[in-house]
Amino acid sequence: MTDAKKLFIKTYGCQMNVYDSERMAETLGVQGYVQTQIADDADMILLNTCHIREKAAEKIYSELGKFRSLKDAKPNLKIGVAGCVAQAEGAEIIRRQPMVDLVVGPQSYHKLPQMEAQVQAGYRALDTDFPEEDKFDHLAKRPKAKRGPTAFLTVQEGCDKFCAFCVVPYTRGAEVSRSSERVLAEAADLVERGVSELTLLGQNVNAYHGHPGGLAGLIWQLSEIKDLKRIRFTTSHPNDMDDALIEAHRTCEKLMPYLHLPVQSGSNKVLKAMNRKHTRESYFSIVDQIRTARPDLLLSGDFIVGFPGETDADFEDTLDLVRQVGYGQAYSFKYSARPGTPAAEKGEVDPKVAIERLHILQALLLKQQYAAQASMVGRDVKVLFEKKGRKEGQLIGKSEYLHAVHAFAPGDMLGQVVPIRIIKDMTNSLTGELL
């Protein structure tokens, strides 16, 4: 019997890329590949890329350069680039980097078996189309191997919002929702294999329309799966937080009290320039409604500083919004232009000013994050233990609020939701004890 071919996948960016990498590995598994964590052992290396960060394409070329000597030593090694950089730069990658054998966009990875066969025949393969067929209809069935207690599940892809700074509509395409029947079937399969918590993924996940009741309707149906204990979703757009979804936060016990709701700026002028289609006032209103429905909800957000045209007054509006809302966690970035987006044609804020603003904002957000963690001390939470800690007898998991919690507990509690009292807050985690 011949040895199985080995596949090494390196994943960049968001949770959707993590999910995509899993499905690509399963798809190539049909071709006889098994995953390895060691690039040097691989018969195929696949870089699943993200185009959100600054100079993403150049970073991928740099990463490819690290494999040049390995490719020279192993002429039969195949190297592929997948994901959003592949979608945006596909033909250029093929032209510029002869060592790359395969380039596939995020909507075409169901075609990997045919592309792999093409590569094995000595040809280079490129597919960055937006095919009419649903890729999920053509993917290999997920193997029945035992899974860890948490999993990602993509339910929606693409974006129709066309924010002025964002490349997602160009790399992921228009908004498309998977049918609830297929999502429910995949969810049931994951739960059967040991998953207790599902995070539903989408570029605008709360724009999901594959169920008559929208995302809320899907969540309620998922909650009927007996051994599924927890449901989360990300990432949301403020304009798609409808009443039904807010009500689900109030009444669905399996929907966790954590919400990632990016606002990007606290200035109406900047929000309009960003083409966000919401205002600071409408954002405040949504936050008030959600917190009325679920007072203990922990809110997370995204912020961009230094967007073209942002003044000191605009930045102060952002700081004011942060102070009023109060975030338990947040991500903040200095604006960087993405070629092909409307904002890329506008003059940038002085980089030194933008960096200074970013540091001020991050200090405020970090202060809020630490305050939220400190407020958990003395409280009882429910922790889903996911893995063993570094210390003997220690387990690590997540609370309802997505805080990392570690506690000394029996090993058979892995995969279980356990009541824990928080006794100490650390820099990026909490310490608890069994109740």
126 and 152, same domain (yes or no): no
- If asked whether residues 125 and 174 sit together in one domain, one would say no
Q: Is residue 311 assigned to a domain?
A: yes
pTM of the entire predicted model: 0.82
Is omega for the bond preceding 11 within 30 degrees of 0, making it cis? no
Alpha carbon separation from 171 to 17, 195, 297 (Å, rounded): 13, 30, 32
Q: What angle do CA 118, 45, 156 make, to 5 degrees?
A: 85
- Is the residue at 272 inside a domain? no
From the CB of residue 237, how many other CB atoms can be counted at a distance below 10 Å? Answer: 20
Q: Which of 51, 25, 47 is nearest to 36 (CA)?
A: 25
273 domain-assigned: no
What does the alpha-carbon distance between residue 367 and residue 323 come to, in Å, rounded to a whole number? 11
Decide which of 135, 158, 188 is a domain's last residue.
135
Residues 92, 196 within the same domain: no
Q: Strand ranges (DSSP E) for 306-393?
A: 329-334, 380-388
- pLDDT in the model for residue 143: 62
| 218 and 306, same domain (yes or no) | no
- Which of 180, 286, 193 has its CA nearest to residue 223? 180
75 and 154 co-located in one domain:
no
Supply the pLDDT for residue 393: 95
pLDDT at 1: 40
Residue type, 433: E
User: Who's near 371: CB < 8 A, 6+ residues apart?
Assistant: none
C-alpha triplet 19, 118, 98: angle, nearest 5°: 85
Tell which of 88, 108, 135 closes a domain: 135
Q: Is residue 265 part of a domain?
A: no
271 within domain boundaries: no
Same domain, residue pair 91 and 206: no
Which residue, of 114, 135, 156, is where some domain finishes?
135
Q: Where are the beta strands (DSSP E) in 295-340?
A: 298-305, 329-334
Same domain, 127 and 159: no
Radius of gyration for the chain, computed over Cα atoms and rounded to the nearest angstrom:
22
Q: Which residues contact 350 (CB under 8 A, 6 or more apart)?
A: none
| Domain harbouring 210, CATH code | 3.30.750.210
Asked if residue 167 belongs to a domain, the reply is yes
115/104 Cα distance (integer angstroms)? 9
Q: Which residues form the domain of 183?
A: 144-256
Residues 87 and 180 placed together within one structural domain of the fold: no
Domain count, the chain: 4
Q: From the CB of residue 348, how many other CB atoms can be counted at a distance below 10 Å?
A: 18
> What CATH number did the domain enclosing 396 receive?
2.40.50.140
**Does residue 261 lie within any of the structural domains?**
no
Amino acid letter at 396?
I
Do 214 and 319 fall within a single domain?
Answer: no
Same domain assignment for residues 385 and 370 = no
pLDDT in tens for each of the 435 residues of the chain? 457 899 999 998 778 888 889 889 888 988 889 999 999 999 999 999 887 666 667 788 888 888 989 999 998 999 999 988 888 888 888 888 899 999 998 888 888 889 999 999 999 999 887 665 565 665 666 566 678 899 999 999 889 999 999 888 887 888 999 999 999 999 999 999 999 999 999 999 999 999 999 999 999 999 999 999 999 999 999 999 999 999 999 999 999 999 999 999 999 999 999 999 999 999 999 999 999 999 999 999 999 999 999 999 999 999 999 999 999 999 999 998 887 889 988 988 999 999 999 999 999 999 999 999 999 999 999 999 999 999 999 999 999 999 999 999 999 999 999 999 999 999 899 999 999
58 within some domain:
yes
Shared-domain flag, residues 82 and 122: yes
pLDDT value at residue 347: 87
Clarify whether residues 87 and 125 are in a common domain. yes
